[in-house]
Structure 1
Amino acid sequence: MTTTEAEPEDQTTSDAEFQRLGAQLVRTAKSPLAKAAVQALVEERTILEVPAVRHALIDDTGRNAKADFDGLLGLQYALGLDEQQRSFLGLVLSMVGIGMTTIAAVRDLDDRCLPIILRAILRLADNDTIAVGTRL
């Protein structure tokens, strides 16, 4: 069995389980910055589904799983992410004050990930009046 064959099985760790984990991480976020970052990762999903990312990011004390972004510091290139995922993760880490990713990294994002980051930036700005979507 190859690694690519195992991925769909790993992803069947069920949508319900993923949603519970995402809700738990958002609920236990320590600040608005961390909450916006966690929401972006949950919405993007593919990064958070990588076992190495979950292992580095999630501090699970048995009772409450919470995101510990410091655990990702210096690991971006060792997590098995592709270029777009690394750029997305770098932008998310910059939201919580970790790393040195510039906003120019949005050029690496596709049409699915760019709106996620834009919504996260709006959450950081505590702005609920600007809509993110397709421009007509």
Structure 2
Amino acid sequence: MTGTETETLAPETVDPDAEYEQLCTELLRNTRFRRHRAAVQAMVEERTVLSVPAVQRALIVDSRKGRAACFEGLSGLQYGLGLDEQQRAFLHLVLSMVGIGITTLASAEDLDDRRLPIIVRAILRLAGNEDLAVGRRL
């Protein structure tokens, strides 16, 4: 390359996984209450609900410390977010952890094998117990 040629730089591609990890780290860092932290952690682990742009627009607010989860923004919007039944059932249980909605624990029967352990771990976090293991029985 000569001195008169300019180097053409390809625009930086954004790695969606890295961007998601950064969002999750920020949301967890900016969560003050144990029940909100348990709910955020559950959404981070489940991933598909938090990855929906409509959910992010309704849930995430900018604070002085960075992005934070404001669950009240999701109140009343659960059916307009474009979620499937499994995702919606999961979100209802997560919202009930922070005191939003009237979802009963019986709705856990609507969860699949991937989401159910996430909710069980979240309930343990909510109770302040991280000693019990959640996994498959042999």
Query: 1:42-68: per-residue Cα shift (whole Å, max 9, x none)?
Result: 000000010000000000247510000
Query: Which consecutive unaligned segments of at least 5 residues does structure 1 have?
Result: 1-11
Match of 1:107 in 2: 109
Q: What are structure 2's unaligned runs of at least 5 residues?
A: 1-13
User: What residue number does 1:19 align with?
Assistant: 21
User: Helix, strand or coil: the match of 1:48?
Assistant: coil
Length-normalised TM-score, structure 2: 0.87
Which of 60, 68, 72 aligns to 1:70? It is 72
Q: Distance in 2 between matches of 1:62 and 1:126?
A: 28
Q: Distance in 2 between matches of 1:90 and 1:126?
A: 21
Q: Taking every aligned residue pair, what percent have the same amino acid on both sides? A: 62
Q: Normalization by structure 1: what TM-score? A: 0.88
Distance 1:29 1:121 in 2: 17
Matching of residue 79 in structure 1 with residue 81 in structure 2? yes
Distance across 2 between alignment mates of 1:20 and 1:61:
15
Q: Which amino acid aligns with 2:80?
A: A
Specify whether residues 86 and 126 from structure 1 end up closer, same or farther in structure 2 by C-alpha distance, changes over 3 A only: same
Which protein has the bigger helix share? 1
Larger radius of gyration: 2
Number of aligned pairs? 125
Q: CA RMSD of the aligned region, Å?
A: 1.3
